[in-house]
Amino acid sequence: MTKTILMTQAIPKQGELWHGALTSQGITVIWESNSADLVQVLAQMQAVGLKLPDLLLIDMGMEVTNPYRFCQACQQDYPGLKIVITVGEERAISPAEKRWAIHQGALDLLPGLQQNSLITSVVTHLSRVMELLGEPLQQESLMAALSKMSALQQAVSSPPQLPALPPLPKVSPAPPETPSKYRGTEVREASPESPPVSDNSTRRRYRGSSY
């Protein structure tokens, strides 16, 4: 029978990695919003007669309630429900913190999946989840999923380069103006001027006197 995991993740990238790894094992993943009230979600599933998830993979950054209080509530209302807590992108977890999480009702407390050691961290974390589910790890399916995830990460981190634009053509400066000559004399074009006003147009003469 297909296993079902209900998951919340505060960091979308962590959720994508978990989703890809879990579905490679044939697991049905119910990916709830990090702001979802999981107590209400479980109650609604039970009310309509749906089978409860085989395991809950919840992030420490869940918004509605403290994950430790949630574990305590599940122990009372849904005894036997398996819960694993993840801690965002944290690289390591102290033994004391893990013991406290287990004391509150979680089966394990896992650090985040690391981008710089993706294969190692995914194999380690997924092996633990599959162990809790009582299922063997399908390594070939996981490696195929990891190859796709690695290729996708490379494509996102290294976007294609745009082709270089061709250089602009060089424009030669206009040659300096050279005056023309006519019979040894330079001739330059003069700017047009208004014609001179003749005295005859403004003065009148009468018997040799102007007025």
Question: Does residue 211 belong to any structural domain of this protein?
Answer: no
Residues 101, 34, 45, 2, CA torsion sign: negative
Q: Does residue 209 belong to any structural domain of this protein?
A: no
Closest C-alpha among 26, 37, 14 to residue 91:
14
Contact by Cβ (8 Å): 51, 4: yes
Any domain includes 96: yes
Residue 64 lies in a domain: yes
Yes or no: say if 104 and 83 are a contact pair by the CB < 8 Å rule: no
Domain with 103, as residue range(s), is 4-157
Nearest partner of 110 among 18, 3, 5, 12, judged by Cα = 18
Which CATH number belongs to the domain containing residue 48 in this structure?
3.40.50.2300
> Which pLDDT score is estimated for 130?
97
Contact 18, 10 (CB under 8 A): no
Q: Does residue 165 fall inside a structural domain? A: no
Retrieve residue 136's tokens: 């063997």
Please state, in angstroms and rounded to a whole number, the distance separating the CA atoms of residues 75 and 8: 19
Structure tokens at 86: 């993840």
* Helices of type H across 38-117: 38-47, 67-77, 95-104
Is residue 192, in this structure, part of any structural domain at all? no
Helix 67-77 crosses helix 38-47 at what angle (to 10 degrees)?
Answer: 20
pLDDT at res. 46: 93
What pLDDT does residue 150 have?
75
Residue 93 in any domain: the answer is yes
Q: Is residue 127 part of a domain?
A: yes
Report pLDDT for 19. 96
Rounded CA separation 18/29 (Å): 9
Sequential pLDDT tens for the chain (211 residues) = 799 999 999 999 999 999 999 999 999 999 999 999 999 999 999 999 999 999 999 999 998 889 999 999 999 999 999 999 999 988 899 999 999 999 999 999 999 999 888 899 999 999 999 999 999 999 999 999 988 887 766 655 555 565 666 666 666 666 665 555 545 555 555 555 555 554 554 455 545 555 4
Instruction: Check residue 201 and give its pLDDT.
Output: 47
Tokens of 161: 């380069």
- Going from the C-alpha of 141 to that of each of 23, 26, 61, 172, the distances in angstroms are 9, 9, 30, 65
Identity of residue 62? M
CA 105/CA 72 separation, integer angstroms: 6
Domain count, the chain: 1
**Model confidence over 149-186: pLDDT tens digits?**
877 666 555 555 656 666 666 666 666 655 555 455 55
**Could you tell me the two tokens for 24?**
């490679």
